[in-house]
Homo-oligomer: A and B are copies of this chain.
Amino acid sequence: MITIDYKDRRPIYEQIIANIENLVERNLLEPNEQLPTVRQLAMELSINPNTIQRAYTELERAGVIYSTRGKGNFIADNSEQLRQEKTLAIFEQMTALGMRAIELGADEARMNSWFSSLTQATKGRGKND
């Protein structure tokens, strides 16, 4: 379920974080579900355990997972909240980019054209898991 691309410029621990967050967003990892242990995942991906540990630590700090000493790491049960925060962040990024596009000379027609092609391409795909 988790894959690493060594050609990706992002550090491995970030790829793991993004990967797990993605699985949570798509409800492929449910609240309170146990994650593989650091050693398991390290073996599976043939990666240094320190790297996995770092990913898990940052995921815990971000509230995506929680760990209990001696038992393991588990998905937190606030995935809905995380999803909303992330959505908000995405809208902010899109606004920033949109303003930049307009600064660069994109007129109203072009913006409308882009938006309609975006919404049509994804018609009927909202709110479903």
Contacts and interface: CB of A to CB of B under 8 A. Distances in A.
A20 B26 CA distance: 40
A68 B93 CA distance: 24
Count copies of this chain in the complex: 4
B104 A94 contact: no
Interface residues of A, number: 42
A83 interface: yes
Contact of A11 (B69, B94, B108, B115): B69
A101 B119 contact: no
Interface of A: 6-7, 11, 25-26, 66, 68-69, 71, 74, 76, 83, 86-87, 90-91, 93-95, 97-108, 111-112, 114-115, 118-119, 121-122, 125-127
